[in-house]
Amino acid sequence: MKGEQLRSWLDGQGITTVRTEGLSPEGLVLGKHLSRTKFERSLPLGPAISDIAFAYDVGGTPHFGWWGDWRQECLGDIHQRPDLSTLIVSPNRPGMASCLVDFVDVDGEPLSVCPRSVLRRVTERLRTHGLAARAAFEIEGMVFAESYAEAKAKGYRDLTPIGVPAPLGYLTHDAHRMADFMDEVVRRLDGMGIPWEAWSAEAAPGQFEINLEPADPVVAADWTVRTRQAMREAAYDLGHSVTFMARPTDGYGNGMHIHHSITKGTRPAFYDAAAPDGRSKIMRHWIGGLMATMPGAHSMLTPTVNSYRRMVGFAAAPLVVSWAEENKSVALRVISRDPKVARVEHRVGAADLNPYLALAAILAGGVVGIENELEPPPELRVVAWGLPAGYPYLPNTVNKSADALEEDKGLTDVLGYEMVNHWVQSRRWEWLMFNTTGGDAQAESVTDWELNRYFEVV
């Protein structure tokens, strides 16, 4: 969409304001509300913002402990370059459109730490092997009767879940209680053209899950960013609050499972009818790569201190580096019975992950497996919880996961050194903040520090 075509579209939709939306590495949706005139005049680079927006943590403290090469020596500008293919009309604010962006420098070059650009680079690396990916996200969160202001006044504790108090998944009269909220959410998704498949009440009180349709990886991540934003705004407008913290209460935590499949040309690359188990050579190497890189990828899949509160045995979250056919207790649930459904469900991710970086880390692991022809270890054919010492447990703190990522040369090669270095340093910073600004590393349940830091922004 360019020039006259863009103007015609804006005229036809009665647009007076355009909101730019882009995700920082921390997972914060950043942007500006631009007058239509300013939006058009800003193209193709888009509006400028200070690069400090990419260099502070979710609490607003600047990262001055290190300085990536992508940053200017002073606090300079970066730009939000609009991807005009993502321009949509707001379903709830007449006269407003929104547009997703890529973060670029003043010369228009993609920032090495722009999550959306990182995911695009990984998909391009995959294409060099003649392969393409499709992905779908399962989004979990919790909705409460209190408004955000009321929740904050209560310290985000003892809130009233919209739903029954019992930890029962799929209960229809539980879902009925949150139907007003979810009906408004799906109305907005329909208005934005985001195809959803199903939603249900989940196990924790007030917990929901919504499943989006499979798509190109960047598009799938775009939809996930916009879905979470639509949920936050719908909750606010209805006088409720919603959070995507991994574990805001003592009940079940919030995860984000990521399904993905690979095609070669027009055929499913994960399936081979001649193989006894239906798994192609590509699928074997892919699983081998995901297994080999999982400790490092874990950092981008479980990004915050709170993410690790979800890692509790017998509470749905994977604890060990593992895979198996149709086993929902392992990290990688493999489905290979039919070419139409052949895929991998990556079950490690927490709800507070950055969808671009999480999917990039997953696909990068698959690329490592293909390029090095890695074979997977044996399937774990038992329940993957309550296993004794000696099994390959995943790192259990944000700091240990960062160490594993730093040591993973394969992931660093595919994701890019600057992205990995920035991410590793920022995770160590998050651990430092937790331990020096009021967190309690000995606490066995969610702390006030976590609730105040993450409840409203992740």
What are the extents of the domains in the chain?
3-111, 123-454
Q: What is the pLDDT of residue 331?
A: 96
Question: What integer pLDDT is reported at residue 316 of this predicted model?
Answer: 83
pLDDT tens profile 341-391:
999 999 999 999 999 999 999 999 999 999 999 999 999 999 999 998 889
Least confident of 15-19, 88-92, 253-257, 325-329: 325-329
Q: How many angstroms separate the CA atoms of 377 and 300, rounded?
A: 23
pLDDT score recorded for residue 293: 98
Q: What percent of the chain lies above the pLDDT cut of 90?
A: 90
Nearest partner of 354 among 407, 410, 426, 438, judged by Cα: 426
Tell me, what's the pLDDT at 306?
97
Tell me which of 3.30.590.10, 3.40.50.10470, 3.90.470.20, 2.60.40.420 is the CATH number of domain 123-454: 3.30.590.10
**pLDDT, tens digit (0-9, with 9 covering 90-100), for 172-197:** 999 999 999 999 999 999 999 999 99
Is residue 63's pLDDT more than 90?
no
> Residue range 413-440: average pLDDT?
96
Dist CA 366 CA 376 (whole Å):
11
Residue 39's pLDDT is 98
Residue 101: pLDDT band with limits 50, 70, 90:
very high
pTM for the model stands at 0.97
| pLDDT > 70 in the chain, percent | 100
- Write down the residue that tokens 């400090």 correspond to: 52
Average pLDDT over the chain, rounded to an integer: 95
Among 67-76, 93-102, 275-284, 302-311, name the one with the lowest average pLDDT.
Answer: 67-76
Q: Which residues pair with 393 in a beta bridge?
A: 320
- Quickly state the pLDDT bin for 251 (edges 50, 70, 90): confident
| Cα separation, 237 vs 227, whole angstroms | 15
Residue 314 has pLDDT above 90, yes or no: no
CATH of 3-111, one of 3.10.20.70, 3.40.50.300, 3.30.420.40, 1.10.10.10: 3.10.20.70
Helix runs in 302-408, H state only: 355-371, 398-407
C-alpha closest to that of 82 among 125, 122, 32, 123: 32
The band of 423, judged by pLDDT with boundaries at 50, 70 and 90, is very high
If you average pLDDT over residues 66-78, what whole number do you get? 85
Q: Give the pLDDT confidence score for residue 167 in this predicted structure.
A: 87
Please, which pLDDT band fits residue 441 given cuts at 50, 70 and 90? confident
